[in-house]
Amino acid sequence: MRFVRIPQFLKKLFPSLTWDYNTGEKVVYITFDDGPIPESTAWTLELLRSKNVKATFFCVGDNVRKYPEIYQGILNEGHAVGNHTHNHLRGFTNQTQSYVDNVKLASQYIASKLFRPPYGMIKRSQAKELLKDYKIIMWDVLSEDYRQDITPEECYHAVLKSIRPGSIILFHNHVKSEKNMRYALPRLIDELRNRGFEFCVCT
């Protein structure tokens, strides 16, 4: 089943998580998961710089360890960062304490009180523990840029028609997402700006 726009019942199941921002203003929040990696993050930063857009990067701790200069580039450009665990763990298949410990390990490399669970999967017990120290940022528009069975054009239009004021949009800094992301992202930024939207970072 495809969910580009996250259904309301998921938001009601986890009301303590942030799925969007109800500002009432034409603002959107572009986010990227899984970086930093050389193949994708550098291109993303260059594009955002050229478009004068700030975004939020939910980083994997081990990737920050391996590519600290790219992570520093994210910070230097004025973007926000968040914790995405150290080893990109699935919440459903890990015990609560080991999951929380992995987030804490990532925090040695990522100075942020924002957290996003990989795959969007998190147990209530894990969320309860992490909410003591973090704001958990989900999303309401999933780009599905990682899918190999959709065209870049389909990716772009699916995201565009799903966006509302206050939407949090999820893209990925991942090799398998590059084709769709590189096509959709610049066009999306231009079209949203033409429609009067502004771009902000998650807080």
Q: What is the pLDDT of residues 88-108, one digit of tens each?
A: 999 999 999 999 999 999 999
Q: Which of these is catalytic: 33, 34, 140, 145? A: 33
Name the average pLDDT for the chain. 96
- Is the pLDDT at 2 greater than 80, yes or no? no
Q: Inform me whether the pLDDT recorded for 3 exceeds 80.
A: no
Q: Is the pLDDT of residue 64 over 50?
A: yes
Please report the sign of the dihedral spanned by the C-alpha atoms of residue 98, residue 104, residue 109, residue 112: positive
Which of 79, 84, 86, 172 is the catalytic position? 172
Q: Is the pLDDT score of 1 beyond 70? A: no
172 in catalytic set: yes
190 carries an active-site annotation: no
CA–CA distance, 29 with 167 (Å, rounded to integer): 6
| pLDDT band at residue 149 using 50, 70 and 90 as cut-offs | very high
Q: Are 166 and 21 in contact (CB under 8 A)?
A: yes
105-121 residues labelled b (16+ CB within 10 A) or e (exposed): bbbebbebebbbbbebe
CATH class of 8-199: alpha beta
